[in-house]
């Protein structure tokens, strides 16, 4: 049995399993679920896939991809039960979209760089949206449930595709300085609402800077958070080794160990 045939067999068996879970004699919990209930599980599993990618553990990645695939197929089955669309409709739709958005592969468009591919992709997306009269629909493809950084970056990327963007990096840096000054003024005045607003403006400006420099803001912050956890774990381990409870450690002791952790990170 070749790889494609084996994959088709396993896919068929997994779909059959899902149908059995949803059948009248199946699992009460699975039968009770509605499409809206599954959304949060799809999101959770997608994040676990991302975590597995970060750890570079093939076994964990295989398992998490399986969990994500199950949720996708489960959701597709539920929509099929409601006569909304089938798994075949989903696959046909994404196949057509990928062909349409890769004219340099499936058509006669010529490209010479990755940047041209990205620009063509955005231009095709613009044309796909052009039949919609409501300008708000430009951002309808950006889910509200996305993490704030990722949502902001996607929204500003769409706006950029229509020419609403900073001319150069230095302009964003100047805007960041301006936002920091406004934040300082809000802190000085002691207005909680204004502090929140100005801090949000700083985050938004940093997202624009990230996008302009081709850095994914969500990924960058996640990596920094991971770095913090790794270094703080070193601090707590070293304190424990020296018989110092974390609650009794001084800031100077923790700072010294933190600096040791930074040196180890660089090696």
**CATH second-level architecture of 3-84?**
Orthogonal Bundle (1.10)
pLDDT for the residue 50: 87
Say if residue 136's pLDDT is above 60.
no
Return the percentage of the chain with pLDDT > 90, whole number.
73
Say if residue 8's pLDDT is above 80.
yes
The model's pLDDT over 87-100, given as tens digits with 9 standing for 90+, comes to 999 999 999 999 99
**In terms of CATH, what superfamily is 132-215?**
MazG-like (1.10.287.1080)
The model's pLDDT over 143-155, given as tens digits with 9 standing for 90+, comes to 888 889 999 999 9
Separation between Cα atoms, residue 65 and residue 52, nearest integer Å: 9
Going by pLDDT thresholds of 50, 70 and 90, the confidence category of residue 266 is low
The model's pLDDT over 221-260, given as tens digits with 9 standing for 90+, comes to 988 998 999 999 999 999 999 999 999 999 999 999 999 9
Other CB atoms within a 10 A radius of the CB of residue 171 amount to 13
Fold match, 3-84 / 132-215 = yes
pLDDT for the residue 130: 67
Could you give the 3-state DSSP secondary structure of residue 257?
helix
Say if residue 156's pLDDT is above 70.
yes
pLDDT for the residue 201: 97
What does the block give as tokens for 27? Answer: 């699992």
What does the block give as tokens for 37? Answer: 């209930």
Radius of gyration of the CA atoms of the chain, in A: 25
What does the block give as tokens for 170? Answer: 């230095």
Q: ∠ CA(211), CA(215), CA(220), 5° rounding?
A: 120
Q: Domain map of the chain by residue range?
A: 3-84, 132-215, 219-266
What does the block give as tokens for 151? Answer: 């949502």
Write the CB contacts of 192 (distance below 8 Å, at least 6 apart in sequence). none
Could you give the 3-state DSSP secondary structure of residue 202?
helix
Say if residue 60's pLDDT is above 90.
yes
pLDDT for the residue 134: 53
pLDDT for the residue 190: 85
pLDDT for the residue 81: 95
Check if the beta carbon of residue 218 is closer than 8 Å to that of residue 149.
yes
Q: Which residue has the higher pLDDT, 129 or 187?
A: 187
Separation between Cα atoms, residue 157 and residue 168, nearest integer Å: 15
Q: Which residue has the higher pLDDT, 37 or 207?
A: 207
* Mean of pLDDT over the chain: 91
Check if the beta carbon of residue 257 is closer than 8 Å to that of residue 234.
yes
């Amino acid at each position: 049995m070749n790889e494609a045939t084996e994959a088709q067999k396993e896919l068929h068996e997994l779909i059959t399993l899902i149908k059995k879970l949803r059948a009248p004699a199946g699992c009460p919990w699975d039968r009770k679920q509605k499409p809206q209930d599954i959304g949060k599980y799809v999101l959770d599993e997608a994040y676990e896939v991302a975590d597995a990618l970060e750890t570079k553990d093939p076994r964990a990645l295989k398992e998490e991809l399986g969990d994500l695939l199950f949720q996708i197929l489960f959701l597709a089955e539920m929509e099929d039960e409601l006569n909304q669309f089938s798994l075949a409709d989903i696959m046909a739709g994404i196949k057509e979209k990928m062909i349409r958005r890769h004219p340099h592969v499936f058509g006669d468009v010529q490209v010479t760089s990755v940047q041209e591919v990205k620009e063509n992709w955005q231009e095709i997306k613009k044309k796909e949206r052009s039949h919609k009269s409501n300008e708000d629909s430009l951002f309808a493809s950006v889910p509200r449930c996305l993490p704030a950084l990722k949502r902001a970056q996607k929204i500003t990327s769409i706006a950029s595709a229509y020419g609403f963007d900073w001319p150069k990096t230095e302009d964003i840096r100047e805007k960041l300085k301006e936002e920091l000054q406004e934040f300082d003024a809000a802190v000085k005045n002691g207005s909680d609402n204004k502090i929140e607003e100005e801090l949000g403006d700083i985050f938004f400006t940093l997202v624009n800077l990230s996008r302009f420099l081709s850095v994914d803001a969500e990924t960058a912050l996640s990596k920094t958070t991971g770095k913090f956890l790794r270094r703080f774990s070193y601090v707590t381990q070293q304190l424990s080794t020296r018989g110092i409870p974390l609650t009794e450690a001084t800031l100077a002791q923790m700072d010294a160990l933190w600096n040791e952790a930074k040196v180890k990170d660089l090696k």
